[in-house]
Structure 1
Amino acid sequence: MQKIKDERLQLKNLKNIRVVFIIQTLGILALLGYDLFTKGLDGMTDNPLWFVFMISVIVNAYLSMSISVDHEKAPKSPLKGLYVSLSIVGVLSVIVGMLVSFSEGQTIWNGLLIGGIIFISFLVPVLYIYKLRKDSWDEEMSE
């Protein structure tokens, strides 16, 4: 198979891949919806398609982050954005941790665990966006 060199054909190929991805995602959502109605939430999340769907959503989100940073009009200060994002994530994780620990039947350790998981889960994308913005900032400053 030869590599496509014509830009028009490359763009058409990318559009075809996008259509196939949309159809595939709708099919996965339909199967998961069927499992949700027939087996409930636990049955849906036990289905291996759930993991395929979650992985594809996460990969798509990370790929979209790099495009959104490249599309920003004026380069933002990466350090200021990092501080703001870390503050928001910290406050959010503390609030959720407190709400969990004050819930009936929950301990403070459960609140700390859930708050810590939320903080770490949001920390990875925040640091990734910081790296992308820092690279873009460094590239703008070197020009």
Structure 2
Amino acid sequence: MKRITDERLILVNLKNFRIAYICQTVGLIAFLIYVGVTSGSRAVTESPIFFVLIVTNTLHAFLQMRVTADVEATEKKRKKPRPYYVFILISLVVGVLMGMISWFIDRQHPSFAWISGTIFFICFLGSFSVMYYLKKKRMDDDDAEE
């Protein structure tokens, strides 16, 4: 089998993958909604399909960050990136807010609020750190070229 070298065919192939991924995601969500309606929300979160959906969408989001960083870098040139502590503060605010929301929803389990707030903080800080690293690396590469 020969490797595809025509750029138009590569783009068509990538669009086909995107359409298949969207159809698969919509199908999984529809199935999980059906399970939620028939068996309850607890059955949805215990389903392995829910785990697969969460992992694949998280992976897709992290892989998409590189493309987003490159597009932002070419569209608008920012003189200086925001300081890293700003991203830490934003992540902390999101973690605290989600922890407070969890605490107001379920006051019998305050440890759940701490856990959910910490998880949100780590997730936001992780994604912000990856974006910061990609933007800083891109800016350093642009400075080295000049």
TM range (shorter): 0.7 to 0.9
**1:98, CA displacement in angstroms?**
4.7
TM-score of the superposition, structure 1-length normalised? 0.84
CA 1:98–1:18 in 2, change beyond 3 Å: closer, same or farther?
closer
* CA-atom RMSD in angstroms: 2.1
Q: Helix, strand or coil for the counterpart of 2:4?
A: coil
The aligned runs of 1:1-143 (5 Å cut-off) are 1-72=1-72, 73-76=75-78, 77-78=80-81, 80-98=82-100, 100=102, 104-107=107-110, 110-143=112-145
CA 1:9–1:100 in 2, change beyond 3 Å: closer, same or farther?
closer
**1:75, CA displacement in angstroms?**
4.0
Q: Deviation per CA, 1:72-106: give whole Å up to 9, x if none.
A: 1234434x253222111112223444555576334
Within 1, Cα distance between the matches of 2:116 and 2:76?
36
Within 1, Cα distance between the matches of 2:127 and 2:133?
10
Q: Sequence identity, in percent?
A: 35
Within 2, Cα distance between the matches of 1:46 and 1:119?
24
CA 1:106–1:46 in 2, change beyond 3 Å: closer, same or farther?
closer
Point out where structure 1 has 5 or more consecutive residues left out of the alignment: none
CA 1:71–1:28 in 2, change beyond 3 Å: closer, same or farther?
same
Within 1, Cα distance between the matches of 2:101 and 2:26?
35
Q: Deviation per CA, 1:16-67: give whole Å up to 9, x if none.
A: 1111111111111111111011111111111111111111110111122111
Within 1, Cα distance between the matches of 2:114 and 2:69?
32
Within 1, Cα distance between the matches of 2:109 and 2:10?
55
Within 1, Cα distance between the matches of 2:132 and 2:115?
25
Contact persistence 1:81–1:130 (CA under 8 A): no
CA 1:81–1:15 in 2, change beyond 3 Å: closer, same or farther?
farther
**1:110, CA displacement in angstroms?**
4.9
**1:113, CA displacement in angstroms?**
3.6
